[in-house]
A and B are shown apart, each in its own frame.
Chain A
Amino acid sequence: MFIINCPYCGERDQTEFSCGGEAHIERPKQPTELSDDQWAEYLFMRKNIKGIQFERWNHIHGCRKWFNVVRDTSNDKIHAVYKMGERPPLK
Chain B
Amino acid sequence: MNNNLRINKNNFIDQTVRISFKFNGKKLFGYKGDTLASALLANNIHLVGRSFKYHRPRGIMTCGSEEPNAIVQVGNDPALTDPNVRATEIELYEGLEAFSQNCWPSVNFDIGGINNFLSPLLPAGFYYKTFMWPASFWEKYEFFIRHSAGLGKSPTKPDQDLYDHQYVHCDVLVIGGGISGILSAKLSAEKGLNTILIDDKSYLGGSTIYQDNDIFKINNETSNAWLKNQIEKLKKIPNLTIKNRTSVAAFHGYNYLLARENLTDHLGANERKGKIRQRLLKIRAKKVVIATGAIERPLIFSNNDRPGIILSSSIKKYIDYYGVKTGENISLFTNNDSAYETAISLNKSGVKVKVIIDIRENPSSILSEKIEKTGIKILRGHTITNTDGYKRIKSIDVMKLSKDGENVVGNKTTYKCDCLGISGGWTPMVHLFTQSGGKLKFRNNDNVFIPDENKTPSEQISVGSSNGDFELDDVINNTVKKIKIFLRLDKNDYENLDIKCSKEKQKRNIWLLPSNKPTSKSKPFLDFQNDSTAKDVKLALREGFKSIEHVKRYTTTGMGTDQGKLSNMHALGIIADTTGTNMGELGTTTFRPPYTPLTFGAIVGRNVGEFFDHTRRTAIHDWHVENKAEFENVGQWKRPWYFPKNGETMYQAVQRESKAARESAGILDASTLGKIDIQGEDASEFLNRVYTNAWSKLAIGKCRYGLMLNEDGMVYDDGVTTRLGENHYIMTTTTGGAANVLSKLEDYLQTEWPELNVYLTTVTDQYSTMSICGPNSKKIIKKIIPSLDLSDESFPHMSFKNSKIDNVNCRIMRISFTGEHSYEINVQSNYAKDVWEKCIAAGKEFNITPYGTETMHLLRAEKGFIITGQDTDGTLTPSDLQMDWIIGKKKYDFIGKRSLYRSDTIREDRKQLVGLLTDDPNEVLEEGAQLVESLEKPIDMLGHVTSSYFSPNLNKSIALAVVRSGKKLKGKKLIVPMENKNINVTITDTVFYDKENKRLNA
Footprint of B on A, CB under 8 Å?
1-3, 13, 20, 26-28, 30-32, 34, 36, 39-40, 43, 56, 58, 60, 64-66, 75-77, 84-85
Contacts and interface: CB of A to CB of B under 8 A. Distances in A.
A84 to B, nearest CB: 5
Contacts, number: 53
Contacts of A58: 743, 747
B747 A32 contact: no
B899 A43 contact: yes
A31 B902 CA distance: 12
A1 to B, nearest CB: 4
Interface stretch (B92-100, B750-758, B966-974): B750-758
Given A76-B253, A76-B437, 19 more contacts: A1-B252, A1-B253, A1-B254, A1-B256, A26-B752, A27-B752, A31-B897, A32-B893, A32-B897, A32-B898, A39-B898, A39-B899, A43-B711, A43-B899, A64-B746, A76-B254, A77-B457, A84-B750, A85-B754
Nearest to A4: B254
B524 to A, nearest CB: 39
A36 B902 contact: yes
Contact of B750 (A1, A2, A65, A76): A65
Interface bracket on B: 20 to 34
Contacts of A34: 898
A57 B937 CA distance: 50
B438 to A, nearest CB: 10
Contacts of B437: 75-76
B751 A66 contact: yes
Nearest to B892: A32
Nearest to B252: A1
12 contacts: A2-B253, A2-B254, A3-B284, A13-B284, A27-B711, A31-B893, A32-B893, A32-B897, A43-B712, A43-B899, A64-B746, A77-B457
Which 10 residue pairs spanning A and B have beta carbons closest together? A31-B898, A1-B256, A66-B750, A76-B253, A27-B752, A3-B254, A39-B898, A1-B252, A2-B254, A66-B751
A60 B752 CA distance: 18
Residue from B252, B712, B747, B898 whose CB has the most chain A CB atoms within 10 Å: B898
Nearest to A65: B750
Interface of B: 252-254, 256, 284, 437, 457, 711-712, 743, 746-747, 750-752, 754, 892-893, 897-899, 902-903
Nearest to B749: A66
Contacts of B256: 1
Contacts of B253: 1-2, 75-76
Contacts of B892: 32
A20 B748 CA distance: 12
B747 A40 contact: no
A58 B892 CA distance: 29
Contacts of B754: 84-85
Residue from A20, A30, A66 whose CB has the most chain B CB atoms within 10 Å: A66
A84 B751 contact: yes
Nearest to B250: A1
Residue from A26, A30, A43, A84 whose CB has the most chain B CB atoms within 10 Å: A43
A64 B711 CA distance: 22
B457 A75 contact: yes
A39 B903 CA distance: 11
Nearest to B282: A1
A48 to B, nearest CB: 19
A27 B750 CA distance: 13
B923 to A, nearest CB: 42
Contacts of B752: 26-27
Contact of B747 (A1, A2, A66, A85): A66
Contacts of A13: 284
Contacts of A30: 893
Contacts of B711: 27, 43
Contacts of A3: 254, 284
A85 B437 CA distance: 33
A43 to B, nearest CB: 6
Nearest to A44: B712
Nearest to A42: B711
A28 B750 CA distance: 16
B455 to A, nearest CB: 10
A3 B285 CA distance: 12
Contacts of B751: 56, 66, 84
A90 B457 CA distance: 23
A36 B903 contact: yes
Residue from B253, B712, B743, B751 whose CB has the most chain A CB atoms within 10 Å: B751
A65 B253 CA distance: 24
A72 to B, nearest CB: 10
